Structure 1
Amino acid sequence: MFKIKTIESLSDLTQLKKAYFDSSIVPLDGMWHFGFAPMAKHFGFYVNKNLVGFCCVNDDGYLLQYYLQPEFQLCSQELFTLISQQNSSVIGEVKGAFVSTAELNYQALCLDNSATFKVNSLMYQHNTKLADRNLEMIDMQIAGTEQLTAFVTFAAANIGAPEQWLTQYYGNLIERKELFGYWHKGKLLAAGECRLFDQYQTEYADLGMIVAQSNRGQGIAKKVLTFLTKHAATQGLTSICSTESNNVAAQKAIAHAGFTSAHRIVQFEFKHA
């Protein structure tokens, strides 16, 4: 029934991507869906030459997104099994998937085809009623182009991310005025991101932060988050964020800053015949 083709231009998926994000019961993680997904290979599902769904697979062979229009849901399980069993000559190798628990249909299909799964990340949304109103404000400054090297060096040293990727990533955030720094005596102690969405989920701001290893455990992280959530609120936006399932320190800071987590990003490994 379905014909699978490689998508050459993501603009072909504009309407389907909108439907995909609209189908989620809470906002989806910005880094996964606007950072990683665009770099993945996209494939379209066609019926009678009409584009009715899509998926994307990263270079490691994991599905990151999967969507099929509601009127074709009866055939979704058969299509997904074909993909997960690596029986599509167009898509090729598919080891597993990353999926949010807020993506109910996609999650159910992954469960049907999984050999094992584990929680990768926790997803959070800010609740102003839970925020600690006694938190000391932190003075963060918006990053300028002349500070790009400092931010790249800082992030590479403290989280081990590759400098080439960081240069492009931070350069874009600086251009969009979405990167902030906490400096003390001329030293960068924390970086904060307040990423806005250009399309889909535009009522939210996706936050990120890094605190210098030498200054962790001092309450800086929750102060950074407090600054970022207030900055987002001035634009009428609700803050979301995420962190790895094993990063207990970050989870505590996020909770103290007034965020709650009801959803997870789960990594599935598919069973293969």
Structure 2
Amino acid sequence: MLEIKPVENQQQLSKLKQDYFAQSTAPLDGMWHFGFAPMAAHFGFYEHEALVGYCCINGEGYMLQFYLAPNANSDAKELFTLIAEQNSAVIGEVKGAFVSTAEPQYLSLCFDNSSAFTVNALMYQQVQRGSRSNQSALKLTLAQPEQLDQFVEFAASNIGAPEQWLSGYFGNLIKRNELFGYWLEGELLATGECRLFDEYQTDYADLGMIVAQSQRGKGIATQVLSSLVTLANERGLSPMCSTERVNTGAQKAIKRAGLTPLNRIIQIEFDQQ
């Protein structure tokens, strides 16, 4: 008999998460899986006290990850449907899920229970080394701890993200030497991120960027991304990134920087019984 319990210490799920990432057909989005997922509520699936799987649900009631080990006695489809139909008293309300097309098993289970779906984001990666933009790359400068407030203010004013979250996020990137800036005459015009993975997807670098609103449409985004692609390749890593479906400007810049949109992140709405 399977039992569902809250998981307080996510380290208990390390082996299962390793198996979860291993079954994907392409690298999974770093922000979703290493930024959003750790903040979600995790629930373990137990058979005779042995941990055989897990799922995580964010604060808005959407599932972000689901995994049941192949050697589990329980049926994955039955378990997933039980959760999707909100019949788990432990997990409670689940409105839907976010899932990548690079996760065929999880995606299939989501579609089995979906009432509607839409593309949330496009996932890009470098297919062939050297497939970069012909435009010259910009000189990016590694961010320093004393510049944290400038980066936070820049991002808050240009993308509207909350400053408290940005302070922790950028602070961690600075400590890891993963945040860069493009400065012109002392003014920060763009930020670039080259995030490395500590586990699961260590052959990849997850790229990100923000360009000042006043500078958009001038080719800076492509140049920043080209610089980040070069940086990743110099480290022997394959670059990847993602952008929202509606952000056509970013999509053009990413494509010009030599990355290809091979997968999608899908937002699934579950049938409400």
TM-score higher than 0.5: yes
Shift of 1:77: 0.5
**How far did residue 130 of structure 1 move?**
3.0
What SS does the corresponding residue of 2:60 show, helix, strand or coil? coil
Pairing 1:104-123 to 2, within 5 Å after superposition:
104-123=104-123
Aligned equivalent of 2:208: 208
| Counterpart position of 2:250 | 250
Aligned residues: 272
Look up the match of 2:218.
218
Give the deviation of 1:129 after TM superposition.
Answer: 4.6
Q: Which runs of 5+ in 1 are unaligned?
A: none
Q: 1:74, 1:104 → 2: CA distance? A: 19
- Residue 148 of structure 2 is aligned to residue 130 of structure 1: no
What's the counterpart of residue 9 of structure 1? 9
Distance 1:37 1:51 in 2: 19
Q: Deviations over 1:122-172 (max 9, x none)?
A: 00001335322x321211100001110000000000000000000000000
Instruction: Report Cα offsets for 1:211-267 as digits up to 9, x if no partner.
Output: 000000010001101111111111111000000000000000000000001210000
1:142 lines up with 2:138 in the alignment: no
Q: Could you say what secondary structure the match of 2:75 adopts?
A: helix
Tell me whether 1:25 sits opposite 2:25 in the alignment: yes
Distance of 2:150 and 2:11 partners within structure 1: 35
1:91-135 per-residue CA deviation (whole Å, 9 max, x = no partner) reads 011000000001011000100100100000000001335322x32
Q: Cα deviations across residues 176-225 of structure 1 (Å, max 9, x unaligned)?
A: 00000000011100000000001110110000000000000010001101
Q: TM-score, normalised by structure 1?
A: 0.98
Q: What whole-Å deviation, never above 9, does each CA across 1:50-99 have from its counterpart, x for those lacking one?
A: 10000000000000000011233870010000000111011011000000
Equivalence for 2:184: 184
Shift of 1:8: 1.1
Q: Match of 1:111, SS?
A: helix
TM-score by length of 2: 0.98
Partner of 1:193: 193
Q: Determine if the alignment matches structure 1 residue 55 to structure 2 residue 55.
A: yes
- For 2:114, the aligned partner's letter is S
1: CA distance between counterparts of 2:137 and 2:24? 34
State the AA in 2 paired with 1:190. Answer: A
Structure 1 residues 218, 68: closer, same or farther in 2, change over 3 A? Answer: same
Residue pair 2:2, 2:74 contacting (<8 A) in 1 also: no
Q: Which runs of 4+ in 1 moved over 2 A?
A: 71-74, 127-130
> Letter of the aligned partner of 2:170 in structure 1?
Y
Partner secondary structure for residue 172 of structure 1: helix
- 1:56 corresponds to which letter in structure 2? C
What secondary structure, in the 3-state scheme, does the structure 1 residue paired with 2:72 have? helix
Cα displacement (A) at 1:48: 1.1
